[in-house]
Structures are given as C-alpha cells and as structure tokens.
Amino acid sequence: MILPAKQSKQQGPWQLPTSGLAPNSGGGWSRGTERESGLCLEDLGRQDEVTVGDPLVAVLLLSGPRGRPDLASEPPAGGGRLAALYLGSKPAWSPRYPAAGQTPIPNVSLPLRFDWRDKHVVNQVRNQKMCGGCWAFSVVSAIESTCAIQGKPLDYLSVQQVIDCSFNNYGCSGGSPLSALSWLNETQVKLVEDSEYPFKAENGLCRYFPQSQSGVSIKDFSAYDFSGQEDEMAKALLSFGPLVVIVDAVSWQDYLGGVIQHHCSSGEANHAVLITGFDKTGNTPYWIVHNSWGNSWGIEGYAHVKMGDNVCGIADSVSAVFV
C-alpha cells in the first residue's frame, strides 16, 4: 500500500522535505506532484476495465486473483474487496530529486537483456499476505540484493522489522519506500535476518537490538525521476543493482502473463515493487518486475512491463540503495 509520509511530532533528520517541488517536464504519464509519492495505501478497489486480445498485451482476467489463496475468502464485491488489501491509494506528494543529491549514473553500454537473477543475487518472491507492506518488501529486497552483489551472503532480511520500527510509515496499513529508506539512512538501524524477526503480516511493537547485534545497515540511497529516460534507468539498474519503483498496479491483481502495456487505470501511485532486469530481444521491450504477492501470481511472482513509455508510471519514482 502507498500512503502519505506520516507527520511525526518527533521531527528527525529523516523527515522528507516539503519544499523544492517542481512541475513535471517529462513525457509519459500525466501527473502532478502527487503522482510521484510512492506511498502504499492499498485501500481502493480496482476498476474493471481490461482487455484481452493482442498476445503481447498482458493477460488480465476479471474472475479474481488466480493463485492467491490469501484472498480466497474475500467476497467478490465488484472486484473492490479483492483489491482492497493490495492496491489503490489516495495520491500523495513526493519530492523532486535534485541532481546534486543523486549518485551519478555511469555511462555503461546496455545489453539487449539483463537480469540480476542470473547472477544469483535476488531472493525468491515473498508474499505480503493480508498486510499492505509492499513499501517494506521492496526496500528490504533491494538491500538483500545489493549486499549479495557485493559478495555477501544472499540472506532474507526482516521485513517485519521495517514494518514495526519505521515510525514515519503506517506498517501494514501502508507506507513510503522513500520514507523507509530515509529512516534507514538517518538512523543507521541494522536489519536483522528474517529468522530473528519473522514476518507476521500484522503490525507489532518494534523490537530493539543492541549495537553488537549483527545486521545490515545502508550507507545511502538515491532517488530519481526517469520519466522519458528509461535507458538511463536501465544503466542505473546495471550499475547499482535492483531498483525500487512505484507503480499504478490497480489492474495487476489478475495478471497471468505477457507484457503489460496498458491497464493502468487509477492514474496514481499505489504499489511498490522491485525491478531486477529488462529484455529488449523481442518486438516489445520490457522491465522484469519482482512483486510481493507470492510466486503463484503472474510469472512465478514476476510481471513484465513495457519499457519506453513509462507504463503504469514505472519510471516516475525510482530508488537505488547502497550498502
């Protein structure tokens, strides 16, 4: 779920800025400053307006989320209840990303296909279940992969720790990847292994650990708006590792396969996911998107989203993490 950053009485240095917003100058999706928030409040129903025809277009069915036992008991109230725990948000703002505060992107040559999974640095897709914690899953997954790229073990880190302890978010009721990254960067909290602090699919009291506790803390992160610059986004992926992105995924709950080229019906950010790669070998180039709805959803837990047209706003709010 995507929600506005929580306004805390404790104004720490990790609070997101509220100034410096600029109008959109990029192509692709029409959006205001609200569109770029990436705040996961998944509490609106999807709009039942998908089409099936072109084999290159993603297969989306209206019969309910296939392979999603966690939602099997939900009543089919026009599709709205089925999507309630996963999708749809009231839009919120996010800051524009000044170049001065970003890590420069190396000018690397782009292959026709690249996927960090081929390097064995991406964990299996997890399932957020009845918890609107996409914002935490995407951030933790990015940190896991970045550690592995540097030669460290590919461990499962605690998503529940981020859900419980990132005070400027709303736990399973939603949150912001940018806010979570800002909190991790400023507090230097060490993420412990999932086995030490397992996922419970509900909010809990934050557990604190001594400084001597082993864990992973981040060194920094960079946030980008790559609308109209998806080749630069691909270079960032190659250079930095899997990227956290915010999308309009209102219609994704029934995705079965193919390349998503349309079907972004809400016009606002509502779901956080991880991009692990891209493929330009066919007629329709696409991003390879790691979701958090279990491996029975989509293509073994992944979706393919068309590159180049900012489909579903996939290039609007992109974050890279450094450990």
Query: Per-residue pLDDT averaged across 253-273, rounded?
Result: 88
How would you class 271 by CB atoms within 10 Å of its CB: exposed for 0-12, middle for 13-18, buried for 19 or more?
Answer: buried
Residue 254 has pLDDT above 80, yes or no: yes
Best CATH choice for the domain 38-207+217-322 from the list 3.90.70.10, 1.10.287.1040, 3.30.1330.10, 3.40.630.40 = 3.90.70.10
Q: What is the mean pLDDT of the chain?
A: 78
Select which of 40, 131, 134, 165 is catalytic. Answer: 134
Give the per-residue pLDDT at 14: 32
Catalytic residue among 271, 290, 310, 312: 271
For residue 290, give both structure tokens.
Answer: 């790691």
Catalytic site includes residue 271: yes
pLDDT higher at 313 or 65 = 313
Q: So where are the chain's domains? A: 38-207+217-322
Say which of 169, 291, 304, 312 is annotated catalytic. Answer: 291
Cβ–Cβ < 8 Å for 41, 89: yes
**pTM metric for this prediction:** 0.78
The tokens describing 29, both together, are 């999706």
> What's the rounded Cα separation, in Å, for the pair 2 and 268?
10
pLDDT at 92: 37
How confident is the model over 30-65, as pLDDT tens digits? 333 333 333 444 433 333 333 333 333 444 432 233
